[in-house]
Structure 1
């Protein structure tokens, strides 16, 4: 099977695992970022893992990220209406459900080291979220500070996988910076989840577009040093397909 076919199969499996009639009826179908999955797949393939192990780690890690994203949608505003309280509870429970799938899938296959490392990464994500809420409350957060926190929040899971599978190698790990940069870049381009303080730190769509173009130039340089030739070419292609429109068009959020 071609690399495109393998990635499409993984994306389809994640969508199937994420299907739940009760969740869809009450809060809608959780979104799956095809770009996030492609990055995970190519990251893992660059370490020459077996196809089945790549598939397992892509599915489990994406479900975990979906759980974190659902928790991010839980309103922090006081709720008195029964419907609002119920909606909040459902988002919490749905996030817990997807997070539990990550643990179950990996535990069934004995991937204990991955469970441990991703669990540590979740702690790192939550620490970064706490810092973000603190600086957002000060209303004096700079774009570099804000984006450094977004990189940790959005990129800690793929970065953790890269550290796990790069351990013991003498060469530098190109994914350590590349994975968080790609995650921050996608958030800037999509902004499907609006974190506190974003409007203060980024100020305008023009600033957001300028940051997208700056980070895009960086990730192209970072991707160019990946040693695995097939992964390098596919990643550069995926980056271009996803972000090149922002080089010539005004910023517009995807619907």
Structure 2
């Protein structure tokens, strides 16, 4: 797919948008930090009546701070392993890819695989947030170490597959899971079961913004898809590219999208 500049997005399509689904790392955040500008853009989107859902590879135990401190309407974590939102009484509710007993069994399999990874790639360790996960196991490929070469990343992914596991990669982590879940499958489930938005309507009224290979399922499924400019660094890792691309990178690209969506409302 040839990505188009964000400013070419027709106003008639933009006017239908009712919600924003956003990746976190290197999309909403900038070099691991949430900027004042990004948080302000989230708040302006809320004021404008847009649903705001985080769709991240980060762990399940990050979700409550994101819900409470960033005021997201919902948070999807671990590339679709779980989803959380607050009900009308402010109580946290959740969806999971599998029941608790199954998740515990999968955790044991993933812990065993971590030793396999260590034997083959001693420098590639479980991510710092690995203990906070319930559905996958993330390995650090660029967060707290220099980014590993693409050839080595391919070998890491191949090793995950060789052991009967599913793999996906982000800009900072390689993820292994026992079952194949995705950002897209949980987004579709959440929107339908919690918000009563069927998939056909969601594809017309929700835009997704992201930056990396673990966003490919979202880029492929949602016609209204946007990449922050740094997505160009990873286009060779996946085939489903966003329809539009921002001029700005990282959190500034997210702000660019929100400014563009709200421009019509301000005029």
Q: TM-score, normalised by structure 2?
A: 0.27
**Which structure has greater helix proportion?**
1
TM-score normalised per structure 1: 0.28
More strand per residue: 2
